[in-house]
Structure 1
Amino acid sequence: MAKRGEDKKGARERGKQLFGSRIARLIFASNLAGLAILIIGAMVLNEMRASFVVAKKQDLIGQAQVFSNLLAEGATFGQPQPVMDEELARATLADLSLPVSVRGKVYGPDVDLIGDSYFLSDRVIVSALPPIQEPSQLSRWGRSLSEWAVSTFGALVPNRGGDAVRTQTFEEEFAVALDGGEAASQRFNDRGQRIISVSVPVQHVSAVVGVLTLESNDIDDIIRAERAALIPFIGVAVLVALITSALLTLGIARPLRRLSRAADDVRSGSTQQLDLPNITRRRDEIGALATSMEAMTEALFERITSNERFAADVAHELKNPLTSIRSAVETAERVKDNPEAMQKLHKVIAQDVGRLDRLITDISNASRLEAEITRVPTEALNISRFVSDIVSTYEHIGLDEDMPSVVFEDQTMGAGLRVRGREGPLGQVIRNLIDNAISFSPKHGTVSVRIEQGRLGPQTTARVIVEDDGPGIPEDRLEKIFDRFYTDRPKGSAFGKNSGLGLSIVRQIVTTHMGNVTAENRNQGGARFTVELPAT
């Protein structure tokens, strides 16, 4: 019993999930809306009814004209005032063998009924009656649906069937026929049945001696039979619509719900990545969405992990000069009477304060730069002109005899290479590389900045090469130098002037611009940094 209760509860939950989704409801509504219009139109059957009425009217007129000629030839006599022989007229009407659904009547000029086929026919139609049984539930539903559709939507659709045959009384119809014309109308008979009635004159030469009226009462039966015949097809259409809606819901709404739940799990910290292999393997938009969300989540956690490492590195780097300053302050308390020692301690404190200032400035610039990369839109930059303008800002250091000179060379032969990027971050890349080269170059050395055109497969690239005359880079440190806070300065370098963030920032910016930066040693001594960016 408990298991059965759990099964029922699970079924209710699944149903709630299915129809509680707006996408699922939209799928069902959109599939069933067109089907509902089709069903309503089939139930109303206005056009079909109009065609039936017109066809029945034409058929009755044709029959009435033939029968009228038979009556005029076989049941009228007399000159110059012809009259109808009532006995012959009744005998002729009885011999016409009209269908059961068609009733024939012959009237005299004074609207006296001469003969009625219902009373004159001696034919007895014998057929086996079906067994008496209650109509099926499907039949009752079909009849109710048909009646509801006709009553509800019949007023919204033009009644072309009613326009095909006028609604008028028998007296009006008889008057037209008595004047020698043909009249057709629709009305209800004494049994409450809808009939199509046609009246034509019975003429001897040109004199009207009577009126023949044919009435058909099978229009409603035919339309009702057509509606009943449509019920199985409508049932199949409804079933197919429900099945396709359910399949679309399972294929669209459920995967989206799973993606939503997985995203909520990541947001709440229950998991650190989306793991939806069944969805990512799909070769459609939902599969692409799941793949993009997985990649976005991985990138997000990589960014979080990187920020955590960055915070730990910042704390470690700030702790070193702070520890040195605290030690110097404590030592200064004990050597107050030694001016030479106090001077050395003051120098140490000043260097550590400078290092702290440098660290804080570089950390602030790195954070600001990261925000700028994500917010500032890219633009097309003429890379030769851009780098040349930056190098020109270093002309003043060439005037100092103790500083290396910075020279620029464009080897693209005026190709006018353009790259898609952000001016501020790319300028930071060039300045960091030049500053780094200057710090390692000897006095009277040269820092060379060169622009070349390259190619990676079908992609044209712009290469920015910065070379120095320094001691070079140890082979085992060519990649490590791009790590945050990594510093490996030559002996004699000024302490506290390098935070170890410059090259790390360079790689970060170049990577976001879909480029690459590498370091290598020159054969003639010194280091070479190459930044390669895709050209437009």
Structure 2
Amino acid sequence: MASATATAKADPAGREPEDDAAPRRSRFRFGGSRLGGFILALNLLSLLILFGGALALNEWNRGLVQARQESLTVQAELLANVLGELGISRGIPSPELDPYEASAWLRDNFVPQGQRVRLYDINGLPLIDSYQVTENIPGEPLPAARPAGSPPPAGMEKRAARQQALTRESDRQVQAEVERALAGEPQATVRRNEEGERVVSVSLPIRHVRQVLGVLTLEAGNVDEILAAQRSALVPFALVALGVNLLASLLLHLFVARPILRLSAAADQVKLQRARAISLPDLEERRDEIGDLARSLESMTDTLSTRMDAIERFAADVSHEIKNPLTSIRSALETLPLVKTDDQRDRLTALLQQDVRRLDRLITDISNASRLDAELSRDRPRPVDMNRLIADIVGVYETTAKPGDIPVVLATTETTMRVMGRDGPLGQVVRNLIDNARSFSPAGGAVAVTLQDVEDDLPVRIRVEDDGPGVPPDNLETVFERFYTSRPKGAAFGSNSGLGLSIVRQIVEAHGGRVWAENRKDEAGQVVGASFEVALPGVGRRP
């Protein structure tokens, strides 16, 4: 048996075919995206830095206020116990605090820097203020004296009014705190003083045995300074987070934005026809989504370029094939007025009819071939029962057969053969092969259609055999080229366009199969016909 010639396109690089539908896999990916994991890690790092700094600052704020309150409470309890137990009182049996003795004792024993102590009697009236019994006077230096009669500086009245409001509000809060302490309830609060600064205040009742003699209020006013220092401590965290974000932005620009811009510029070059395909080797070597995109765009543009070349060649072939019958028709029409006999006129008329039929068949096949790509891309593949499809097609030939037509004989396997594809184009493959075989079969011959199941990567095999003269060995591959025709003697002129087998190969390869031709020989080695075999991938085979 002569060797078969396969028409499946080989990989030019000699590599194993890859499944384009399978996702590319690599390690260190987040949700299937390596670049997405990189971006997520950088963003989370900057956010964690900010959150860590903010949480640390809040803890410092709460801890600072609580620590100051505890410290002031211990100091106030010590002072209150001393004032109540060391006899700094008079008026027995109704003791009361001696403001002079208490002032002298506080001045000599307790006037710490940054703290303020106040003493109130049983009626809530102020007795002692450490700012009044020491030389430590809060506030800012007084401005220089202005000349007599000059207007006050702008904003002085507003500042004075604001100062008065702050003083009134501070006195109201202190008075409320003292009243609650006189009722026997120790107080620890955070409020604003006369300068608008936040202070931690502790007010405790002074007792002599069980008798409440007054209230001791102790304040610490450096809370805002400490909190400002803590806020300043947050600045390094913010700067580090800003640096990380800037670095992330730079990396995203270098590794994402710029490559995409390069791909866009390369696509514009293809659009402007300055290049036939995108080729960026440095991007194609990347193992992330940008590399996938570059390889996909290169493959897409290369496919488009190949398709454009095929369309150009197809247009050139169509133009050449159409010119032949048109030239013949024009020549016959120019000769027709010159003929003198009816016999010559009949011969020219018959020639014109043949050329018109040839042109009609040619245009019909060209139209079918041009619509084939759109049909293959538009129809959704689905399982096709090849046993039923081939049986229906052969049944149509048997039903429409006329006396003298070449019969079509079917032999199928009992195994149900299914192909994932489109029934319309697959049916066209079978019809084109049968029509081609019938056109070569002599009178009294037959066309045999066989459906087999073989153990192979392409298990579904369709074979169409005829009893014709066979195919020249040198043309076993060229018979699948467009507009190739080699008709036997006696065949009707213009009955074939040379596109049937080309369409067969295009449909079969679109379904992942291959088709080839070979000659049938007898025991003596003589060619007794041609055989065309189609191999397709099968799905869901069952006996």
Return the letter of the residue paired with 2:428.
Q
Is the CA contact (8 Å cut-off) linking 2:57 and 2:234 kept in structure 1? no
Q: Which runs of 5+ in 1 are unaligned?
A: 1-26, 124-165
Query: Could you say what secondary structure the match of 1:529 adopts?
Result: strand
Tell me the distance in 2 between the aligned counterparts of 1:434 and 1:167.
Answer: 110
**2:384 pairs with 1:381:** yes
The answer to whether the 8 A contact 1:74-1:92 is kept is no
Question: What residue number does 1:528 align with?
Answer: 531
Q: How many percent identity over aligned positions?
A: 48
Contact map agreement 2:408 2:449 (CA 8 A) in 1: yes
Structure 1 CA distance for aligned equivalents of residues 72 and 172 of structure 2: 17
What are the superposed Cα offsets for residues 78-104 of structure 1, whole Å, 9 maximum, x if unpaired? Answer: 653233355553454346556422222
Considering only aligned residues, what root-mean-square deviation do their CA atoms show, in Å?
3.2
The 3-state SS of whatever aligns with 1:244 is: helix
Match of residue 106 from structure 1: 119
Contact preservation (8 Å) 1:168, 1:187: no
Question: Relative to 1, partners in 2 of residues 1:350 and 1:190: Cα closer, same or farther, differing over 3 Å?
Answer: closer
Distance 1:450 1:198 in 2: 104
More divergent stretch after superposition (368-377 vs 111-120): 111-120
Q: Which of 175, 182, 207 is the aligned partner of 1:178? A: 182
Report the counterpart of residue 86 of structure 2 in structure 1.
74
Alpha carbons 1:103, 1:216 under 8 Å: kept:
yes
Q: Deviations over 1:343-371 (max 9, x none)?
A: 33333222222211111111122223332
Unaligned runs of 5+ in 2: 1-38, 137-169, 523-527
When structure 1 is superposed on structure 2, of 227-236 and 216-225 the one drifting more is 227-236
| Distance in 1 between residues matched to 2:127 and 2:337, nearest whole Å | 145
2:487 to 469, 474, 489: 489
Distance between the aligned counterparts of 1:356 and 1:438, measured in 2? 21
| Structure 1 pair 255–113 and aligned structure 2 pair: CA distance change class (3 A) | same
- C-alpha contact 1:176 1:183 (8 A) present in aligned 2: yes
Amino acid paired to 1:358: R
Relative contact order, CA 8 A, sep 6+: which one is greater?
2
Which of 39, 53, 59 is the matching residue for 2:71? 59
Give the alignment's TM-score, normalised by structure 1: 0.78
Provide the C-alpha distance between the structure 2 equivalents of 1:195 and 1:96, rounded to a whole number of angstroms. Answer: 23
Alpha-carbon offset, residue 455 of structure 1 = 4.2
Aligned residues of 2:190 and 2:199 also touching (Cα < 8 A): yes
Query: 1:305-328: per-residue Cα shift (whole Å, max 9, x none)?
Result: 111111111111111122222333
- Counterpart residue identity of residue 317, structure 2: D
Pairing partner for 1:218 from 209, 216, 222: 222
**In the TM superposition, what is the alpha-carbon distance from 1:194 to its structure 2 partner?**
2.0
> In the alignment, does 2:449 pair up with 1:449?
yes
**Correspondence 1:325-404 to 2 at 5 A:** 325-334=329-338, 336-396=339-399, 400=403, 402-404=404-406
Q: Secondary structure at the match of 1:184?
A: strand
Which residue number corresponds to residue 514 of structure 1? 512
Give the Cα–Cα distance (whole angstroms) in 2 for the partners of residues 167 and 280 of structure 1. 76
After the TM superposition, which residues 136-147 of structure 1 pair with which residues of structure 2 at under 5 Å, given as runs? Answer: none
Which residue of the other structure, out of 207, 213, 216, is the alignment partner of 1:209? 213
Equivalent residue, structure 2, for 1:83: 96
Once the two structures are superposed, the pairs formed by residues 416-435 of structure 1 within 5 Å of their partners are 416-435=416-435
Secondary structure of residue in 2 paired with 1:169? helix
Q: CA deviation at 1:505?
A: 0.7
Q: What is the match of residue 24 of structure 1?
A: none
Contact 1:520 1:528 (C-alpha < 8 Å) held by counterparts: yes
Q: Residues 46 and 245 of structure 2 are in contact (CA less than 8 Å); yes or no, is this contact kept in structure 1?
A: no
Q: Is the 8 A contact 1:403 1:445 kept in 2?
A: no
SS at match of 1:230: helix
CA contact (8 A) 1:84 1:210 kept: yes
1:520 to partner: Cα distance:
1.2
What is the alpha-carbon distance in structure 1 between the residues aligned to residue 70 and residue 172 of structure 2?
18
Structure 2 CA distance for aligned equivalents of residues 81 and 445 of structure 1 = 143
| Structure 2 Cα separation of the partners of residues 278 and 483 of structure 1 | 38
Q: 1:175 deviation in Å? A: 1.8
**Which residues of 2 match residues 219-234 of structure 1 at below 5 A?**
219-234=223-238
Equivalent AA in structure 1 for residue 64 of structure 2: F
Matched AA of 1:430:
V
CA distance in 2, matches of 1:116, 1:468: 124
| Paired AA for residue 341 in structure 1 | Q
The more displaced of 34-43 and 361-370 is: 34-43
